Amino acid sequence: MDTDTDAEVYYVISDLHIGGDEQLEDIEFLEELLEFLERLETTDEDAELIVNGDAFGLWEFTTVEGLEKFDVLEETYPELFEQFRATGENVDITLLPGNHDHELAAYEEYVDRFAAYNVDLVQDRSITRQVADQAIHFEHGNQRDRNNRIEDWGNPHSTPLGYYYNTLVTSRAGQLSDRGRYNWLKDVQAVTPTERMPVWLLSKYFYREMNPLLRYSLFPFLLLFNVSALLAVLAGLDLLGVWSMPVDRTEAFLGQFGRAGTAAWFLLTLNVAVAGVLLLIGVPLYFIRRDVRKTVDRFGVFETELTVDPNTPYEDAAREIFAEQPETTIFCYGHTHRPALREVDGGILVNTGTWLKRLHRRDGIIGILPPVFYPSYQLLAVRIAPEPEGVAVEYEQIVKPSPATEELTRTERFFTVGREPELELPERYVLESRTEASPPETSP
């Protein structure tokens, strides 16, 4: 645990995930990152920048190994490394490894390579910094995640489940992304939780890759599926003599509109027929699936879920550290990509979010159309600084417009009008000073 350097003000960023195979090389926030570093280059504050893990996507490199990955980073992002050098001359820059760049803790040579750019690579799991009369615990957070925990810290061959997902899925997506109608597959690294990936792939196939003629021919059926399913049930009741459907009146009503009405009647009849068949198949399959799942649960075959609770493990860790180190009042981490600030046992839990694109799922309002994944950015730096009342923690957002206009089809934009995500930052928080006031003097 590193405690050597203490500044007055700390800026914290994490989860940049810079680098990877082919299309993953593109940093969509590079301009904003350089501007942020340039601002720190000229600040007159006694500041330290802490990059709290996953600065680089070393897991996503599959064609080079070891220090060769650093060579690729240098060659690919010369502006960024030169800016590190310039910023590091004015403020201290400390880099902690995360899970995606755990190799930074595995090779001593990385320390010297980063030092050449005025970046202090600390190969520990965590560091502590003093601010006023309190202390901050920094760690990336992957050690609290059973799917990404490095069991043998510093061993380059220690590969948790998350390593295989990124080398087999994420890096492969980077290699194939430019083959699509739009360069979208590389965004797989922004899909969280990972269970959403199949639905996301279905969504992008439907709105991006499917033949437009086929897609638009499916729209009427998908949009009217709910109505068609209801009519199919009523038709079944009619056949059973339970309820009589006003078929003749419906056909006569639509017939008033000529060919358009006839076409609507034909489309509705076809939809009802298809929906009826799907219901006949789907209902028994639903009950079979439900019964199989109950049986599997009884035997406990699958006890581990892929997604780890993004809150409880970190709250428990913070409580433990706050209890063992009473002067520590802030537990600062990343990893989950969810910016948050919560009170825990007299201290606070601070998550720094991610600079990656964020994808917000928007399910269809009608029918059974695939959901739309609306893209946005929330580029954040957490600022921790003393003030007269104690220690202030606040989020600074670097504005970057949503890429929805370029990345979503007209259809996707139409179905998300008025449903764009509203990103809210945690409010500024002040931890009161822990220095006890001296008792008043008494006269003899």
β-pairing verdict for 347-351 and 328-333: parallel
At residue 237, the pLDDT reads 59
Name the residue among 151, 127, 204 with its Cα closest to residue 361.
204
Same domain, residue pair 24 and 136:
yes
Contact (Cβ atoms closer than 8 angstroms) between residue 176 and residue 24 = no
E strand residue ranges, 334-389: 340-344, 347-351, 358-362, 372-376, 379-387
d(C-alpha 289, C-alpha 14), whole Å: 41
- Whole-number mean pLDDT of the chain? 87
> 16-46 burial by CB neighbour count: b if 16+ within 10 A, else e?
bbbbbbbbbbebebeebbbebbeebbeeeee
The range of the structural domain enclosing residue 277 comes to: 224-305
CA atoms within 13 A on the CB side of 331: 26
Same domain, residue pair 294 and 345:
no
Instruction: Collapse the DSSP code of 234 into the 3-class scheme (helix H, G, I; strand E, B; otherwise coil) and give the result.
Output: helix
Long-range contacts, stretch 102-107, CB < 8 angstroms, 24+ apart: 102/58, 102/59, 102/150, 102/153, 102/156, 102/158, 103/58, 103/66, 103/69, 103/156, 104/56, 104/58, 105/153, 105/154, 106/154, 106/155, 106/156, 107/66, 107/67, 107/156
Contact (Cβ atoms closer than 8 angstroms) between residue 138 and residue 96 = yes
At residue 424, the pLDDT reads 87
At residue 443, the pLDDT reads 38
The position carrying tokens 């009884």 is 298
Chain-centre distance for alpha carbon 265: 45
d(C-alpha 336, C-alpha 170), whole Å: 17
At residue 368, the pLDDT reads 82
- Asked which of 305, 340, 362 is the last residue of a domain, the reply is 305
Same domain, residue pair 340 and 376:
yes
> 378-414 burial by CB neighbour count: b if 16+ within 10 A, else e?
bbbbbbbbbeeebbbbbbeebebebebeebbbebbee
Contact (Cβ atoms closer than 8 angstroms) between residue 48 and residue 92 = yes
At residue 441, the pLDDT reads 42
The position carrying tokens 């948790």 is 160
Contact (Cβ atoms closer than 8 angstroms) between residue 87 and residue 49 = yes
Same domain, residue pair 280 and 331:
no
At residue 425, the pLDDT reads 87
Question: With a cut of 70, which residues of the chain have pLDDT below it?
Answer: 1-5, 224-257, 260-268, 270-283, 285-286, 289, 293, 295-308, 435-444
Residue 348, domain CATH: 3.60.21.10
The position carrying tokens 């050690």 is 143
pTM for this structure? 0.84
DSSP state of 178: G
Contact (Cβ atoms closer than 8 angstroms) between residue 136 and residue 332 = yes
In a domain, 214, yes or no: no
Same domain, residue pair 267 and 128:
no
Same domain, residue pair 296 and 318:
no
Contact (Cβ atoms closer than 8 angstroms) between residue 173 and residue 342 = no
CA atoms within 13 A on the CB side of 215: 16
Q: Which residues contact 438 (CB under 8 A, 6 or more apart)?
A: none
Beta-ladder partners of 397: 380
In a domain, 217, yes or no: no
Same domain, residue pair 284 and 315:
no
Contact (Cβ atoms closer than 8 angstroms) between residue 226 and residue 368 = yes
Same domain, residue pair 56 and 152:
yes
- Asked which of 305, 320, 342 is the last residue of a domain, the reply is 305
Beta-ladder partners of 387: 390
E strand residue ranges, 69-125: 92-96, 120-121
Number of domains in the chain: 2
Contact (Cβ atoms closer than 8 angstroms) between residue 420 and residue 402 = yes
In a domain, 49, yes or no: yes
In a domain, 392, yes or no: yes
Same domain, residue pair 242 and 159:
no
The Cα-based distances of 44 to 34, 47, 89 in angstroms read 18, 8, 12
d(C-alpha 303, C-alpha 296), whole Å: 10
Name the residue among 61, 63, 51 with its Cα closest to residue 91.
51
In a domain, 97, yes or no: yes
At residue 265, the pLDDT reads 60
- Asked which of 305, 330, 359 is the last residue of a domain, the reply is 305
Same domain, residue pair 254 and 373:
no
In a domain, 113, yes or no: yes
